[in-house]
């Protein structure tokens, strides 16, 4: 890994708040969503974001004497799930995905559900369906899982396959709208009628 201080453009001994501020600025500048129309730039942006996320994670997890702020990363999986949801709410899908990779128990239905939502937000609906279905099958009584699964299941049944020959069909466009609603509910903690 490159020098994380250099990657984020902060000096050694920078406070956690300075590190977070630098990270947010870099995410605004290099987020891959800004480069969707240029595949070469998109690939470079994705690589840059991976490097930025690695540096950010490293600096927040390695306290070099900075006591002005505590690490945002929890040592237990439950705390990480809460952080994943926060990152998803702020639009940091790469950060959320990086946290999910750190989860030790990848059999937990939350792990599948949150990965499914990330896939849906990226437009990978076949993977989103697979992951959300797995979470729902493991815990069919979970309202959040059930609503997301029902939305994806109804759309794919009504519209046919989501991907055909590598191309999205009309079912995917409809699913994109539904996924946006699911993700909005997830981020606002509205599922289950809690609003």
pLDDT tens figures, 169-186: 444 444 444 555 555 555
What are 167's strand-pairing partners?
164
Q: What's the pLDDT score for residue 182?
A: 57
**Do 40 and 119 sit in the same domain of this protein?**
no
Reduce the DSSP state of residue 91 to 3 states and report it: coil
User: Of 149, 125, 124, 121, which Cα lies nearest the Cα of 137?
Assistant: 149
Does a structural domain hold residue 77?
Answer: no
Contact 26, 33 (CB under 8 A): no
Q: What is the CATH number of the domain that holds 29?
A: 1.10.287.110
The answer on 125 and 34 residing in a single domain is no
The phi-psi region of residue 91 (left if phi > 0; otherwise alpha if psi is between -120 and 50; otherwise beta) is left
Residues facing 168 on adjacent strands: 163
Task: Quote the pLDDT of residue 185.
Answer: 53
The residue out of 25, 46, 72 marking a domain boundary is 72
Q: Are residues 177 and 150 in the same domain?
A: yes
Q: Is the pLDDT of residue 7 over 60?
A: yes
Q: What is the Cα–Cα distance from 24 to 184, expressed in whole angstroms?
A: 21
Domain end point (choices 14, 44, 72) = 72
Residue-level pLDDT at 183: 53
Residues 6 or more apart in contact with residue 136 via CB below 8 angstroms? 142, 145, 146, 148, 149
Q: Indicate whether 37 and 58 sit together in one domain.
A: yes
Same-domain status, 5 and 66 = yes
3-state secondary structure of 163: strand
Same domain, 14 and 107: no
> Does residue 181 share a domain with residue 96?
yes
Final residue in a domain of this structure, among 72, 95, 114 = 72
Same-domain check for residues 54 and 110: no
Residue 144, in any domain of the structure: yes
Same domain, 53 and 138: no
Most confident of 58-62, 143-147, 170-174: 143-147
What is the count of structural domains for the chain?
A: 2
Q: Give the pTM.
A: 0.47
Least confident of 34-38, 69-73, 135-139: 69-73
State phi, psi for 74 to the nearest 5 degrees.
Answer: -90, 155
Give me the percent of the chain exceeding a pLDDT of 70. Answer: 70
Residues 189 and 97 reside in one and the same domain = yes
- Quick one: 183 and 118 in the same domain? yes
**Domain boundaries, position 44:** 1-72
Identify whether residues 62 and 89 lie together within a single domain: no
């Amino acid at each position: 890994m490159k020098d994380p201080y250099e990657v984020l453009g902060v000096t050694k001994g920078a406070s956690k708040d300075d590190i977070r501020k630098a990270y947010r600025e870099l995410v605004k500048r290099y987020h891959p969503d800004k480069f969707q129309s240029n595949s070469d730039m998109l690939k470079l942006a994705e690589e840059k974001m991976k490097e930025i996320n690695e540096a950010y994670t490293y600096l927040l997890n390695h306290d070099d004497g900075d006591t002005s702020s505590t690490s945002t990363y929890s040592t237990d999986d439950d705390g990480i799930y809460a952080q994943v949801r926060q990152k998803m709410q702020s639009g940091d899908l790469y950060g959320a995905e990086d946290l999910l990779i750190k989860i030790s128990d990848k059999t937990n239905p939350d792990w599948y559900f949150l990965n499914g939502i990330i896939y849906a937000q990226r437009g990978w609906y076949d993977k989103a369906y697979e992951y959300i279905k797995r979470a729902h099958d493991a815990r069919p009584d979970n309202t959040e899982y059930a609503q997301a699964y029902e939305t994806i299941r109804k759309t794919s049944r009504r519209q046919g396959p989501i991907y055909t020959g590598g191309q999205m069909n009309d079912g995917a466009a409809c699913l994109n709208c539904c996924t946006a609603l699911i993700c909005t509910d997830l981020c606002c903690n509205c599922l289950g009628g809690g609003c």
